[in-house]
Amino acid sequence: MTNYNRPKEAALDDFRGFIMRSWTYERLTDTEREKLAEFFNGPRAYCVSDSYKNRWAILLAIYGAFLDGCGYSGPNWRDDEMQTLKAANF
């Protein structure tokens, strides 16, 4: 659960940590992770302003659009690829 009482300036860092622990982030390719990092560490991410809660809503929308661009299709997204990777590393 997100603590919306935190300072609004903490929203971007909190959101980055949230994303990096997510199962969708785990399934991104290295190239996709680099592109995502470019955005979240670049000047455009710092243009997101408003309250802590609204910043989260905006960042979630941006991340959702990013996932859509990566072909996100729901909970089973890239399951076959993950199984292949796990089998190869076994």
pLDDT at 38: 93
pLDDT at position 85 over 90: no
Whole-number Cα distances in Å, 52 to 3, 4, 31, 67: 9, 6, 29, 22
Q: What's the rounded Cα separation, in Å, for the pair 15 and 12? A: 5
Question: pLDDT per residue over 1-43, tens digit each?
Answer: 566 678 888 899 999 999 999 999 999 999 999 999 999 888 8
- What distance separates the 2 farthest-apart alpha carbons in the chain? 46
pTM confidence score: 0.78
Strand locations in the chain (E) = none
In this prediction, residues 48-75 reach a mean pLDDT of: 92
Interatomic CA distance for residues 42 and 16, integer angstroms: 12
Q: What is the pLDDT of residue 6?
A: 82
